[in-house]
Structure 1
Amino acid sequence: MEDKAVTAIIDKINTVSEKTLDQATTKAAKKFLADSLAVGFSGYHEPVAAQLRQTAKQWGTSKQACLIGTQERQPSTSAAFCNAFQIHCQEFDCLHEAATVHVMAVLAGSLVAVADREKLTIEDALKAIVVGVDVAAGLGLAAKKGLTFFRPATAGAMGTAAAFGTFVKLDEVKLKNFMGLVYSQLAGTMQAHIEGSVALPLQIGAAARSVITALDLSREGIGGPHNVMTGPYGYFNLFEQDANCESFVTELKTKSRVLELSHKPFPTGRAAHAILDGIRSIMRENHLVVDDIKEIKAAVPPLIRRLVDRPIKNDMSASYARLCIYYLSALMMRDLRIDRNSFSPANLKDNSLQIISRKLVLIDNDLKDPNALSPQHIILQTFNGQTFELDIHATLGHPDNPLNYDDQIEKITNCLQTDTHDESKTYISKATDLLDMKEDKLLEEVIATL
């Protein structure tokens, strides 16, 4: 029996491969490719990313593929693992909010890893992104239950397999084998998220590596299962039980999900962003400092509690702290900013942040949708009796509350700036070139300029 969802994915691949992208879609795909490369460059400088790259040297020594952030090269599988890890390890990569999927981490990390051997142009990459985002986000949107498997890895891998279909030139049987072999390697659960473990971005890296492995196997004629979406043990019966396959198939034909992606303004779990931006907005507008604040109440959906409502601890890792709303809100109250320097060993051990964190109280807003990040309501009370309230219907970075062009340039500049003493105009120029990349350039050439 034909798998209608697999058929719909192949139809999507063929449709996008044969057409010219419209201007709005091109612009959106380009800005989120630029964003992903920039946060991957920033992630390169995380100490744990260096540990991963050192470990990956034990997996092979060929110089096939690009690594974001360095001229060093690795086997394609290792490069995909490291690139995707770097993109997600700071929790700074874009996502589709309603789908609860970081759609670009596996995808961009894998694209960079094959950029040289496939001779990908930026135009090739943009078409791949459109298909990959549509599939990955579509899978998340079809879900009716909260996350159990780590959707950015599972849906991300399936989306990336579809994305690769736009340029790898496999016949239909080999393409189904390819998707089946990716599916057969799907892994990653929410346990790593619950514990705030670095295994979370490692799951992203493993997903990217699995795509390269599956591609190489399928090109050699090695088969895989074909009914991987609607089969008895397919995606919709195992990873997303009770998901709406019909809506996935229908909307894959009509929706452009890349237009619905959200930027992340802070390198933290997205579930923290509305509260963080709400605190910053109220404090800035009313010229408040941390000592003015008596209490902040945030009425939030259940997903917020599930993802970032965890206790602040003395021995937190950076991975844990990025998902701890109490640590993050304390930083925002104290510093009015959160950037990649906010997770230094000194900050993680600063007992004063634990005291400040007690000012935040989370309460439920009675929303029933298990995958919703908004709306949220912030109430800030001061010691002198003032009360400030803020309704947040769209978090900063969402298409309904987007980062403007200057904000995007600032984020990319900060990601690329490795030495704060260097002239910032050099990094601003690099950021502008990245965001405005030319479609006829090779992706590898763009990566080399970072």
Structure 2
Amino acid sequence: MQDVTAQVAAWAAGLSLDAVPASVVAKAKLLLADITGIALLTRQESESTPSLVGALRALELDRGRFRCIGDPAGYAAPAAALLTGAMAHSIDFDDTHVAALHHPSAPVIPAALVAAQVAGASGRELLAGIVVGVEVMCRIGVALGPGSHYGKGFYATPTCGAFGATAAAARVLGLSATQVEHAFGTALSETSGSGQFHVNGAWTKRFQVGHAAACGLTAAALAQAGFTGASEALEGASGFYRLYSNEARPERTVQDLGQQWEIARIGFKPYPACRGMHAAVDAALALYVRHQVPSAEIASATVGLCRQSLDLVGWPEDRKQQPTSVIEAQFSAPFGVAVGLRHGRLGWSDYATELCDPTIRALMSRIHSVHDADVEALFPSQVAGRVTITTQSGQSFSELVPIPRGEPENPLSEAELRAKFDGLVLPYLGSDGATALFAWILDLEHQPGLDTFFDLALPRIGGT
């Protein structure tokens, strides 16, 4: 199919928020609230943030006027996008799109936030940029054929995220359709993202998402300045789809564009871990509530997963049963299930308290991940999971969760999303500060600018 890139560019440049359904606008604001809470916490607590900030300081990129969530400093524009994007993805708590197998908001929203500062844009313009960027990124991810993309070793959040970030920044900056197309062509040259971080739990998982945000911002700025980018960046002979997948369907990118909204299919995470293990954690929590079998009484447990999830969180078994870092634990079904079976929860603080706990480590060694045909049958429309425990006395209990909590078909309520937000920001903002920031975001379309947002997101209690 010809002219896919041009069609996407024209839509991105021309979208009016008046044409966006109210439900999509509301969803975009909740995406911003979710990312804001995550980035505010990770600015203070993520183990990789100090090195990112240190590198930016060493390169004298902390002397600009562009602000990041939870940070009093000013940065150069690309550095602000990079840092915010990395922080948004640093605890694996950010939203996901199952069909695209990526995290849409982490690269898109940081690029939009910095572009809004560059342009002096209103909250309404920021909101339009978020809608455009997230929608474009999700559509590209679905059209790409994520199974083939991941099979080549890529990581879709930064690869697709570079285009989503470009679209978001371009919309906020007010680029024409032709300029957006040039921006996509430039973004293609920086589109990267490798799954090699799985080997040792590397922080590059986080960095490359920030890089995608910075790439998108830079590509949009170059196009605005008249820079010529490659045409047909998506569908061309050496374009994104041909280079990065063997199963791409370029026409899917623009199918029902502006009529059906991929943003509506985004799910929010209740646990800071790979989405591929969320249904299994849900199952473990259900078993905890219904049976409360003490850890010592669990002789063994199996985690039933689809093949895609097994490759991410189940195998190789010896490594998944004994993770040694936060990122390894976030991709370990035995860890998430063990914490769920023992405590009836899985939260960010559990990585600090439970990763080295001898009881949890002993329980992990008795948890085995297996391929489950029933779970596989539900994929890729849903990433299901099953947990079966066998007690020392020979009793067996099993729980199948077909749709993980947080997906649109099994959604978190706005109250639950607010509780997640509070859990992230209360230690640094206090109750009144958290309420003020959340309320500001929910009224985004009426905000004249972003200064108040960044002021409200500054820690007041024990932060940087």
TM-score by length of 1: 0.92
Q: What does 1:167-316 align with in structure 2 at a 5 Å threshold?
A: 167-310=172-315, 311-312=319-320, 316=324
8 A Cα contact 1:34 1:434, kept in partner: no
SS of alignment partner, residue 300 of structure 2: strand
Q: Is the 8 A contact 2:267 2:406 kept in 1?
A: yes
The 3-state SS of whatever aligns with 1:47 is coil
2:37 corresponds in structure 1 to 38
1:378 matched residue in structure 2? 387
| CA distance, structure 1, for counterparts of residue 94 and residue 269 of structure 2 | 6
Q: Measured at CA, do residues 169 and 438 of structure 1 come closer, stay the same or move farther in structure 2, by a change above 3 Å?
A: closer
Tell me what 1:84 maps to: 85
CA offset at residue 261 of structure 1?
A: 0.7
8 Å Cα contact 2:304/2:387 also seen in 1:
yes
1:56 aligns with 2:61: no
Identity of matched residues, %: 20
User: Which blocks of at least 5 consecutive residues in structure 2 are unaligned?
Assistant: 458-464
Asked if 1:409 is matched to 2:406, the reply is no
Q: Please name the residue that 2:343 is paired with.
A: 335
Counterpart contact for 1:130–1:256, Cα < 8 Å: no
User: What residue is the counterpart of 1:131 in the other structure?
Assistant: 132
- Is residue 317 of structure 2 the alignment partner of residue 317 of structure 1? no
User: Which residue of the partner structure matches residue 104 of structure 1?
Assistant: 105
DSSP 3-state at the match of 2:184: helix
Distance verdict in 2 for CA 1:154–1:76, change over 3 Å: same
1:426 aligns with 2:432: yes
Partner of residue 69, structure 2: 68
For the residues of structure 1 that align with 2:17 and 2:357, how far apart are their CA atoms? 56
Letter in 2 for 1:293: I
Q: Which has the higher helix share?
A: 2
How far apart are residue 377 of structure 1 and its match?
2.7
- Residues 23-60 of structure 1: CA deviation (Å, up to 9, x unaligned): 21111111111101111111112131122111112332
Match of 1:361 in 2: 368
Structure 2: how far apart are the matches of 1:409 and 1:53? 29
For 1:4-19, list aligned pairs within 5 A: 4-17=3-16, 19=18
> Contact 2:96/2:103 (CA < 8 Å) preserved in 1?
yes
- Contact 1:196–1:319 at 8 Å: present in 2 too? yes
Residues 265/431 of structure 1: CA separation in 2 closer, same or farther (3 Å cut)? farther
Tell me if the contact between 1:263 and 1:398 (Cα under 8 Å) persists in the aligned partners. Answer: yes
Retained in 2: the 8 A contact 1:413–1:430? no
Q: State the alpha-carbon separation in 2 of the partners of residues 408 and 87 from structure 1.
A: 16
TM-score by length of 2: 0.89
Deviations 1:357-408 (A, max 9, x none): 1232221124379856523333233334443322212101100111112211
Is 1:398 the counterpart of 2:397 in the alignment?
no
Q: How far apart are the structure 1 equivalents of 2:322 and 2:283?
A: 26
Deviations 1:118-160 (A, max 9, x none): 2232222222222212211112212333413211001111112
Larger displacement relative to structure 2 (110-119 or 196-205): 110-119
CA distance in structure 2 between the aligned counterparts of 1:172 and 1:225, rounded to whole angstroms? 14
Q: Which moved more, 1:254-263 or 1:58-67?
A: 58-67
Query: More displaced, 8-17 or 241-250?
Result: 8-17
Residues 174 and 143 (structure 1 numbering): CA distance in 2 closer, same or farther, change over 3 Å?
closer
Comparing 202-211 with 108-117, greater Cα deviation is found at: 108-117
Paired residue for 2:446, among 440, 443, 450? 440
Gaps of 5+ in 1: none
Q: 2:160 corresponds to which residue?
A: 155
Note the C-alpha offset of 1:15.
4.5
Over residues 220-259 of structure 1, what are the superposed CA-to-partner deviations in whole Å (9 max), with x where a residue is unaligned? Answer: 2221111111111101101123211122221434321111
Alpha carbons of structure 1 residues 278 and 412: separation in structure 2 relative to 1, 3 Å:
same
Is the 8 Å Cα contact of residues 37 and 108 (structure 1) preserved in structure 2? no
Mapped to 2, the partners of 1:351 and 1:288 lie a distance apart of 18
Moved more, 432-441 or 254-263: 432-441
Deviates more, 1:136-145 or 1:70-79: 136-145
Q: Determine if contact 2:181/2:231 at 8 Å carries over to the other structure.
A: yes
Instruction: Give SS of 2:73's match.
Output: strand
What's the CA shift string for 1:74-131, capped at 9, x where partnerless?
A: 0011110000000001001001112101000011121222332222322222222222
- 1:299 counterpart SS class: strand
CA contact (8 A) 2:104 2:137 kept: yes
CA RMSD of aligned residues (A): 2.3
Which amino acid is 2:157 matched to? P
Distance 1:29 1:7 in 2: 24
Following the alignment from structure 1 to structure 2, what is the Cα–Cα distance between the partners of residues 443 and 432? Answer: 14
- 1:357 and 1:260 map into 2 onto residues whose CA distance is 33
Structure 2 distance, partners of 1:132, 1:108, is 8
